Amino acid sequence: MSNLVIVESPAKAKTIKKYLGPGFEVRASMGHVRDLHANKLSVNVSRDFEPDYTVIKGKEKLIAELCELAKNSDKVYLATDPDREGEAISWHLATLLGLDMNSLNRVKFNEINKTSVKNGIENPSKIDIDLVNAQQARRILDRLVGYRLSPFISQKIRRGLSAGRVQSVALRLIVDREDEIKKFVPEEYWTIDALLSAPPSKRSFTASFWGDETGKIKLTDKESTEQILRKLDGASFRVSKVKKGIRKKQPSPPFITSTLQQEASKRLGFTAKRTMKVAQELYEGVEVEGIGSVGLITYMRTDSLRISEESRAQGNEFIKANYGEKYLPEKPRYFKTRDNAQDGHEAIRPSMAELTPEKVKASLTSEQYKIYNLIWCRFMASLMANCLQDTTKAEIIAEREGIADEYCIFNASGYTVRFDGYTVLYDNNSDDEEDGKSVLPELSEGKELKLKEIKDEQHFTQPPLRYSEASLIKMLEETGVGRPSTYASILSIILDRDYVVREKKLLAPTELGTAIVSLLKDKFPKIVNTKFTAGMEADLDKIEDGGYDYIKMLHGFYDEFEDTLKKAKSSMEGVKISLEEDKTDIPCEKCGRNLVVKVGRFGKFFACPGYPECKFTKPFVVETEGLCPVCGNKVISKKSKKGHTFFGCSNYPACTFMTWDTPTKNNCPQCGKTLFRSRGNVIKCLDEACGYSKKGSKKADSEDE
């Protein structure tokens, strides 16, 4: 007989098994085991939103095995992830295994190391039903919105669409930003910079025009700029004021989920989904040479900046031993967690400070190393002393001899590092805007300066940038929409469903995404209102804290939502929104009308808009610029069953040519046939009799290819 411990993943099971040893059987649930039925609403609205749960398809055998193990075990411990989803999984497992809900069988690990695992097993608690109810409320809300709203927008715009409760708000933010960009009217402005030196120093520095004897001047056109330039013709430059000071720069706090996703996006180019996948691997455990399986970081879904005093002491000890005591602050630094954050978990930090990124690099994948290095350095830097900078701000006067009452004022600023502090390990310049980045020579009041060059330049104000993944996550966090565990999935959904596309790493709405938002703003304004959605998130937090009944919360939302849906259906009866991207110039082979793109059970297809009068359809194909190397017909883009893009001959099945390589617009210099680009960036001819190939340039579709 032994004790059974159930976790969520095999990697986590392997790591925990090592720490518990004999007498413990550790198994993985492989995530959720029970959920609302996939093909029906599964929520009985008339019976206070009673959910109808079913075992997830494919998990039947696993549940049977766990039931048998539980029956033959002395004790069953539920050690799923320490958050709402993890609590719900434990509750579902307890229900399926017939466990006593009042039994002390719930175990939580904020980090997976020997001490944390042992302490967790020795101090189990009851399943937190408030946490479970918060998860149930979220799940039921999302199901109600999805199952009631998605058919409506599918009917009015295009078959197969979905409108999620939180994803719709994220989509609106992107669409609204696009509207701002389109409406933006640029304003002209000019700058004047003087390139100066302070003899005997030959080092040049830049001073920027600020104003003249009348005060600050904004240069709005060429004429006003030229007027100032005439004043500066033949002028001499001298320092009129010098202000010196010391600037203290504090390190950024350790990561929470959102800031980890933002920083990994900015520094590494990782998507939020990719970042969370790698962080999950680091948390659950990796095989480290000389140590074995170990969880390298604490739980990665958190919005708290709190760290344990034990981890602080370990970090301080490492800093003192490796950098010296001067790199520790005089007093410990504590970061304030925002008011609406959940404080159940620590900030994301390394589980063992002594395991530096370099020590474990050989045991990690490239992705794991990059994320671990980011987390380790950010955490250690957050414990270190401030960076001290000597700052200099100089006011410089340009005046012409004999005209004392006419002069121009220039400003120059710069700094030098007095003490590097935390920046020896992690420079957060990417987070902060510096006042000046140049190093100024020694300047004193009255110092005569030598002018090397005057440069004027025209500028135009720029529209706001489209959101990147990082900036969208930051906005969702600031507005209180979603929670750390949902950001990655929100982004994945709106990208996978073609509501949004990436253009140079920025998020742009498609015509489809814009149409969905326009419809929702018109008919369901609350669904895409950030304050309303944030309020619902706050209600879920209250349920989690035991201060709000989740049935009451569901009624408060659904009763009004259902009434709004009825009004929307009535006002749009017979209305169909037409998208330009669904129109084509391909004539119907039966009646001559231009075909339109439709979406059916098996994807897109071309259809006659004259249905039911004309029922002509044809398969949807995306032609490329390439020609088949076998028969010379057009090469078309296709999708595999798993959604991966490949290319084949349009003359299939007469010609069976297919390839994963992407056709280019260029032809082979040897035989004249289409060149293809492989995933390894090799440009090659796929005519077997030719065999031409060369390494591709970094720029796709380069003219030389």
- Selecting among 299, 369, 415, 550, the annotated active-site residue is 299
Q: H helices of 157-187, where? A: 167-183
**Average pLDDT of 462-478?**
94
The structure tokens listed for 165 are 């409760």
Q: How confident is the model at residue 111 (pLDDT cuts 50, 70, 90)?
A: confident
Q: Is 587 helix (H, G, I), strand (E, B) or coil?
A: strand
pLDDT tens per residue across span 154-184? 999 988 888 989 999 999 999 999 999 999 9
d(CA 341, CA 611): 54
pLDDT tens per residue across span 330-339? 999 999 887 6
Reference 232, options 251, 217, 252; nearest CA is 217
The distance in angstroms from the start CA to the end CA of the chain is 68
d(CA 683, CA 700): 10
**Average pLDDT of 663-675?**
93
Q: Give one DSSP letter per residue of 51-113, joined into a string.
A: E-EEEPTT-HHHHHHHHHHHHTEEEEEE---SSHHHHHHHHHHHHHHT--TTSS-B---SB-S
pTM above 0.85, yes or no: no
pLDDT of residue 110: 86
Q: How confident is the model at residue 704 (pLDDT cuts 50, 70, 90)?
A: very low
CA contacts within 13 A on the Cβ side of 353: 22
d(CA 285, CA 279): 10
DSSP 268: I
d(CA 10, CA 8): 7
Q: What are phi and psi of 272, to 5 degrees?
A: -60, -40
- Cis omega (within 30 of 0) for bond into 464: no
- The sign of the torsion formed by the CA atoms of 418, 424, 428, 429 equals positive
Q: What are phi and psi of 397, to 5 degrees?
A: -105, 135
- The sign of the torsion formed by the CA atoms of 460, 466, 472, 476 equals positive
pLDDT tens per residue across span 71-99? 999 999 999 998 899 999 999 999 999 99
d(CA 378, CA 395): 37
Q: Hunting for tokens 């390990």 — which residue is that?
A: 425
Residue 299 bears catalytic tag = yes
Rg from Cα positions in the chain? 32
Q: Kindly state the helix (H) or strand (E) to which residue 530 belongs, with its residue range.
A: helix 530-544
Q: Which residues contact 170 (CB under 8 A, 6 or more apart)?
A: 472, 476, 481, 482, 490, 491, 494
pLDDT of residue 602: 66
pLDDT of residue 438: 67
d(CA 567, CA 62): 46
Strand partners of residue 131: none
Q: Burial level of 66, CB count in 10 A (0-12/13-18/19+)?
A: buried
Least confident of 162-176, 203-217, 480-494, 634-648: 634-648
Does the structure show a pLDDT above 50 at 355? yes
Does the structure show a pLDDT above 50 at 703? no
pLDDT of residue 436: 43
d(CA 143, CA 154): 16
Q: What are phi and psi of 97, to 5 degrees?
A: -90, -5
Strand partners of residue 387: 249
Reference 618, options 607, 629, 610; nearest CA is 607
Q: What are phi and psi of 306, to 5 degrees?
A: -75, 145
Q: How confident is the model at residue 621 (pLDDT cuts 50, 70, 90)?
A: confident
**Average pLDDT of 495-513?**
92
Q: Which residues contact 179 (CB under 8 A, 6 or more apart)?
A: none
Query: What domains can be seen in the chain, in order of their start residue?
Result: 2-127 (3.40.50.140), 137-183+465-571 (1.10.460.10), 188-250+387-460 (2.70.20.10), 257-382 (1.10.290.10), 580-619 (no CATH), 622-695 (no CATH)
pLDDT of residue 429: 64
d(CA 369, CA 574): 56
- In this structure, which amino acid lies at residue 291? I
% of the chain residues with pLDDT over 90? 72
Q: What are phi and psi of 251, to 5 degrees?
A: -70, 160
453: Cα separation from own chain's centroid: 44
pLDDT of residue 135: 95
Mean pLDDT of all residues belonging to the chain: 91
What's the longest Cα–Cα distance across the chain? Answer: 102
CB atoms within 10 A of CB 517: 24
The structure tokens listed for 73 are 């075990």
Strand partners of residue 416: 390
DSSP 593: P
From the DSSP assignment, how many helices (H) and strands (E) are in the chain? Answer: 17, 30
pLDDT of residue 432: 43
